[in-house]
Chains A and B, each alone.
Chain A
Amino acid sequence: MSEFENTIHTICESYGGDRARMMDIVRDVHEKYGCCSGKAMNLIARGTGAHRVEVQSVVTFYAFYSEKPKGRVVIRLCNDIVDTMFGIEHVARAFSEELGIGFGETTADGRFTLEYTPCIGMSDQAPAALINEVVVTSLSSDSVRGIVRTLRESGDPQKLVRRLGDGNNAHKLVRAMVQNGLRKKGPVVFAEMESGNALRKALALSPVEVIRDIKTARLRGRGGAGFPAGMKWEFTRAADGDRKFVMCNADEGEPGTFKDRVILTERADLMLEGMAIAGYAIGAQEGIIYLRGEYAYLRKFLENVIENRRRDGFLGKDILGKKGFHFDVRIQLGAGAYVCGEETALISSCEGLRGDPKTRPPFPAQKGYLEQPTVVNNVETFCCVARILEKGPGWFVEMGSKGSPGTKVLSISGDCNSPGVYEFPMGVTMAEVLREAGADDVQAVQVGGPSREIVGPEGFERVICFDDLATGGAIVILNSSRNITEMARKYMDFFVEESCGYCTPCRVGNVLMMKKLEDILDGKGQLSDLDYLHDLAETVKTASRCGLGQASPNPILTTLERFRPFYEKLLRTHPKNFDPSFDLRAAVAEAEGLVGRKSAAIET
């Protein structure tokens, strides 16, 4: 065996040749060789018993994996809307100039690759970039020059971290310049905690009683959709399966959301405590934290938290002395695919597949990870769980609104004086949120990321909760200088990029919508285009298989509904009912070049 073969073989072996661990195997190969070449894929197929095409489908699906070699240092600059609001074009130009390459390119010496990436969960510190696994924040064209110089000298992105962030960002296993920006601590998630308190109380109850408490607390999932957690657990508990699983959704990909990052940094113990309680309640012994690839810098730290909890008897066998209650967790890293936040896609990814959502039914509660009953909950949901067991459901329902008790952690960014993370009681008005964030010039707020809705001043008395302004946590504030239609375009671009491509309405419909939107923005739209967008949006919403496609038209639909004049002022009417977006001159230009004559038919 060559050394290359040996290495790949060893990597496969380290995961027991288990093809369900494909994400980790491919990741390790990347860490070693910077890409996963065709040769490597052959060897992985052999080492895991997977078909070669299955390996390839993983390598080509995820943005952080690549068949072709990339630079030893990969710079991924976030180009989400918050970054564009804060001068990303200067930062991008500086990177390009300093490295002498464009975006999507690698330097000739193979040292650097430059790419764009959607939101990396640092929107309150934008513009931000990922350099390999290292996060760099608050970029400016000046800081970029220094960054490139340091990277050229040392090749080590960690050297870029000069001043450490606050809280656990400065922990020796994190050492990141990331700031928590934790501006408002609430009683549920960010109050002080003592490990074991909640778990001990849970173990004094029967699993059915634990679920009853979660139901009495009327806890709804914090990832965005607000599904009742107790009901989900009950289904999973009741389902037949040899094994059961608890999964924590730490994929946090919705642009403008970064609250889970801060929870993971400061309240990982609380979350893990909630996971263990879930394990006890549904009868699971295994848990998985699906951590987005962008947060890989937290991995060692989280593993350490897990290790400490094992040591303290909060994880592992016979937890807290309860005979027969075993529960342990592992971390599964993602690799840059937004759709993997969708729970069935998340499960696919954990199974070592492309991040394709699955067809429902069966729901994960019946057949989830490895076809076994599985609970998937958000990071914050597990924190709520622990607190409910610690303090009682009665305490929990006293906060918040009737349909959505408790608190909600919001990540606020954009045009305000105090961007960051806030834990508010559910039911708080948008106006109050804006006031606390120090936003005085507000044209609109994007609530819940592109998947949800844009709200104008007429909606500022609406309240944050699952029955009104539902959000997984993203609040992006836009002042009066911001271009609403341009924002819709960027968000459509995001969905086009992130669609898994399985179903036609989402794969094709979003492209068509984006093209039409671009025509309109280019001044080539007509009034009927708005109806066209509307109809197409409805089709995509109703005919798409998963939540991504079902939500993807929302940037257009909600801006059309609430900011229609912005579109109307761009529209044209053609006197002869021709389509203003069709440009005959451009359409024949290529043929003119090929045959070497100009069109005689077009008047100049």
Chain B
Amino acid sequence: MEKPKVATTSLAGCFGCHMSLLDIDERILQLIDLVDFNKSPINDIKTFTARCAVGLIEGGCCNEENVHVLQLFREHCDILISVGDCATMGGIPAWRNTLPLKECLDEAYLNGPTVHNPSGLIPNDPELPLILNKVYPCHEVVKIDYFIPGCPPSADALWAALTALLSGKPVDLPYELLKYD
């Protein structure tokens, strides 16, 4: 039987959630027995080559490219999971949501104490995706099926969620796996 396929991506995240996924340690061998990875930074496959059972999303959407990638994931995956606080509610990047976009860009590119920018311009290369008016959690952009909170969620939580999903069992994350203080 063909193995189910999993895709992952990091949008406006820090890759910490991906690192946490790698923290499942030797269980990664089991995981590879269970699934094939499709588009993912883990294997550096850049484009979807097949329909996937599960898509893991790290990070929310802070620019238009994030939106396109997320929509692409929605189109290619049966189940989408928001992994980590950035994906579920914007997380740290969403702190900027309390400030006008112009102030953020001015601080980053013009006025910040460590900025050296003699041109006085805000970067504007057509290659650069345009930044959104605010950082959106994933579920405000596409339908998300599951949410795993944590910054990052622990390897055990990710493992428990993934294996349950892949074996068709209900996802039941005990309190200890979601408790962070």
Chain A residues in contact with chain B, CB under 8 A? 526, 528, 576-579, 581-582, 584, 586-592, 594-597, 599-602
> Provided the pairs A590-B133, A591-B131, A591-B132 are in contact, do residues A578 and B142 lie with their beta carbons within 8 angstroms?
yes
Q: Which residues of B contact A578 (CB under 8 A)?
A: 71, 74, 141-143
Q: Is B114 an interface residue (CB 8 A)?
A: no
Q: Verify B101–A597 contact, CB threshold 8 A.
A: no
Q: Is B173 an interface residue (CB 8 A)?
A: no
> Provided the pairs A578-B74, A584-B64, A587-B136 are in contact, do residues A595 and B124 lie with their beta carbons within 8 angstroms?
yes
> 17 other contacts beyond A579-B143, A581-B140, A587-B64, with CB at 8 A cut-off?
A577-B142, A578-B141, A578-B142, A579-B140, A582-B67, A582-B136, A587-B133, A587-B134, A587-B136, A588-B130, A590-B102, A590-B133, A591-B130, A594-B101, A594-B102, A594-B122, A596-B124
8 A Cβ contacts from B101-158 to A: 101-102, 105, 122-124, 126, 129-134, 136, 139-143
Q: Verify A599–B64 contact, CB threshold 8 A.
A: yes
Chain A minimum-CB-distance residue to B124? A595
Determine which of B74, B129, B130, B133 lies in contact with A576 in the assembled complex, contact meaning CB atoms within 8 Å.
Answer: B74
Q: Which residues of B contact A582 (CB under 8 A)?
A: 67, 136, 140-142
Q: Verify B64–A588 contact, CB threshold 8 A.
A: yes
Q: Which 7 A-B pairs have the closest CB atoms?
A: A595-B124, A577-B143, A591-B130, A587-B132, A588-B130, A590-B133, A582-B141
Q: How far is the CA of A161 from the CA of B74 in the complex (A)?
A: 64
Q: How far is the CA of A526 from the CA of B141 in the complex (A)?
A: 12
Min distance, Cβ A2 to any Cβ of chain B, angstroms: 39
Min distance, Cβ B15 to any Cβ of chain A, angstroms: 24
Q: Which residues of B contact A526 (CB under 8 A)?
A: 143
Min distance, Cβ B35 to any Cβ of chain A, angstroms: 22
Q: Verify A590–B101 contact, CB threshold 8 A.
A: yes
8 A Cβ contacts from B48-75 to A: 64-65, 67-68, 71, 74-75
Min distance, Cβ B144 to any Cβ of chain A, angstroms: 9
Q: Which residues of A contact B139 (CB under 8 A)?
A: 579
Min distance, Cβ B116 to any Cβ of chain A, angstroms: 20
> Provided the pairs A582-B136, A587-B136 are in contact, do residues A595 and B130 lie with their beta carbons within 8 angstroms?
yes
Q: Verify A601–B105 contact, CB threshold 8 A.
A: no
Q: Verify A595–B133 contact, CB threshold 8 A.
A: no
> Provided the pairs A594-B102, A599-B64 are in contact, do residues A579 and B133 lie with their beta carbons within 8 angstroms?
no
Q: How far is the CA of A590 from the CA of B136 in the complex (A)?
A: 15
Q: Which of B64, B74, B75, B122 has the most CB of A within 10 A?
A: B64
Q: How far is the CA of A588 from the CA of B66 in the complex (A)?
A: 12
Min distance, Cβ A525 to any Cβ of chain B, angstroms: 13
> Provided the pairs A588-B133, A591-B132, A594-B101 are in contact, do residues A601 and B68 lie with their beta carbons within 8 angstroms?
yes
Chain A minimum-CB-distance residue to B133? A590
Min distance, Cβ A596 to any Cβ of chain B, angstroms: 7
> Provided the pairs A578-B143, A579-B139 are in contact, do residues A601 and B126 lie with their beta carbons within 8 angstroms?
no
